[in-house]
Amino acid sequence: MRIYLLFLLLIPLSGFGQTYELGSLTTAANTSIRGISVISDSVAWVSGSNGTIGLTTDGGKRWKWTKPKGYEKLDFRDIEAFDENRAIIVNAGSPAYILRTEDGGKSWTEHYKNADSAIFLDGMDFWDEKRGIIFGDPIKSRLQLLATNDGGLTWKDASESLKFQMADGEAGFAASGSTIKTLAGGKVWIATGGTKSNIYTSDDYGQNWRRYEVPILQGKNSTGVFSMDFHDANLGIVVGGDYQKDKENSNNVLLTTDGGKSWDKPSRPVFGYRSGVIWYDAKNCFATGTSGTDVSRNGGQNWYHISDESFNAISKAKKGRLILLAGNKGLIYSFKIQ
| Percent of the chain residues past pLDDT 90, beyond the cut | 89
pLDDT of residue 26: 72
Mean pLDDT for all residues in the chain: 93
114 by Cβ neighbours in 10 Å (0-12 / 13-18 / 19+) ranks as buried
Identify the three-state secondary structure at position 330. Answer: helix
* pTM, 2 dp: 0.94
Q: Which residues contact 110 (CB under 8 A, 6 or more apart)?
A: 97, 98, 99
Q: 20, 11 in Cβ contact below 8 A?
A: yes
The CATH fold of domain 7-337: Methylamine Dehydrogenase; Chain H (2.130.10)
pLDDT at 321 over 50: yes
State how far the Cα of 294 lies from the Cα of 288, in Å rounded to an integer: 6
Given a contact cutoff of 8 angstroms between Cβ atoms, the answer to whether 89 and 53 are in contact is yes
Burial classification of residue 115, based on how many CB atoms lie within 10 Å of its CB (0-12 exposed, 13-18 middle, 19 or more buried): exposed
How far apart, in whole angstroms, are the C-alpha atoms of residue 26 and residue 47? 14
Is the pLDDT at 7 greater than 50? The verdict is no
Spans of all domains in the chain:
7-337
Region 171-177: mean pLDDT is 96
Mean pLDDT in residue range 189-215: 98
Q: Please, are residues 260 and 236 in contact by the beta-carbon 8 Å criterion?
A: yes
Q: Do 12 and 295 contact (CB within 8 A), yes or no?
A: no
Whole-number pLDDT of residue 213: 98
Q: What is the pLDDT of residue 12?
A: 47
